[in-house]
Amino acid sequence: MGFVKFKEEMAFYEVPQVEFYGAEMLTVYFETKPEVVARLLPAPLKPALMPIGAAFVANYPRTNFGVAYLESALFLLTEYDGVEGAYCLSMPVTNDMALILGREVFGYPKKIANISLKQDGDRLEGWTERHGTRFMEIKATMTGKFNDQAIQQVLMERQAAQPDTVVYNFKYFHAPERNGFDYNPRLMRETVQMRPKSMKMGQAEMTFRSSKHDFWGDVEIVRVLGAVYTVGDNTMMPGAIVAEADPQAFAPFGFMKLDAMRPD
């Protein structure tokens, strides 16, 4: 092994698809405002019919790329070319290899953070913090019923019809000349196959805050809809580039992977 790899060594750095074994995921669904969704979605993504978002905290005890780590994420429901999916606004992680794989291959807006997920019977708590700010907190009790039982039925019917999760991200690099991007930002679509071995539903409360570097408070929570706690195996399938964004129009959205570089 060295800086330059022989052909047979290159296989140690590639996996055909990303596998998570025994993944614990606490996901909370919430309603936001249509104007929030419209403001935060870059073109060519469009708002879905319902202004719904989701946030999760996850523990991945074993993967096929050699690391165990924790992760959290914030999504808004969106649509492109008739295919509904989830647009990822933020995805903090606790491991650098998980960050590199997610950002450089799939375009996820990942940053290193401190993350916690703890369970005490049917009660679960999760949080994420960076630079001294705890900008996401979740508390859930697995009662079997959502905060909003009507939405619970709708979400469960949608999940039964489409158990896999479609995710949208943008892949881009800022140009070394500091005058735009290396190439037009590329909209990527990928599918995550979810195979839960156990699933519990319940009621939740959730808080978002913003800091100088992380802006979860931009997403207003009108009401929390409910929580789902799953344990199972997940597979990130290979993605595909489905569109390009206009670089000038996308420019204001191109800083989700960076912290502020100038002092207050």
Q: Which CATH number is 61's domain given?
A: 2.40.400.10
Residue 7 in any domain: the answer is: no
Q: Which residue segment(s) compose the domain that 219 sits in?
A: 16-253
Residue 26 in any domain: the answer is: yes
pTM for the full predicted model: 0.95
Q: How many domains does the chain fold into? A: 1
List all residues 6 or more positions away from 124 whose beta carbon is below 8 Å from its beta carbon.
26, 117, 118, 138, 139, 140, 141, 142, 227, 229
Residue 8 in any domain: the answer is: no
Residue 259 in any domain: the answer is: no
Is the backbone of residue 82 left (phi > 0), alpha (psi -120 to 50) or beta? left
Residue 107 in any domain: the answer is: yes
pLDDT tens over the chain, length 264 residues: 799 999 888 888 888 899 999 999 999 999 999 999 999 999 999 999 999 999 999 999 999 999 999 999 999 999 999 999 999 999 999 999 999 999 999 999 999 999 999 999 999 999 999 999 999 999 999 999 999 988 888 887 877 777 799 999 999 999 999 899 999 999 999 999 999 999 999 999 999 999 999 999 999 999 999 999 999 999 999 999 999 999 999 999 999 999 998 876
Residue 4 in any domain: the answer is: no
Residue 262 in any domain: the answer is: no
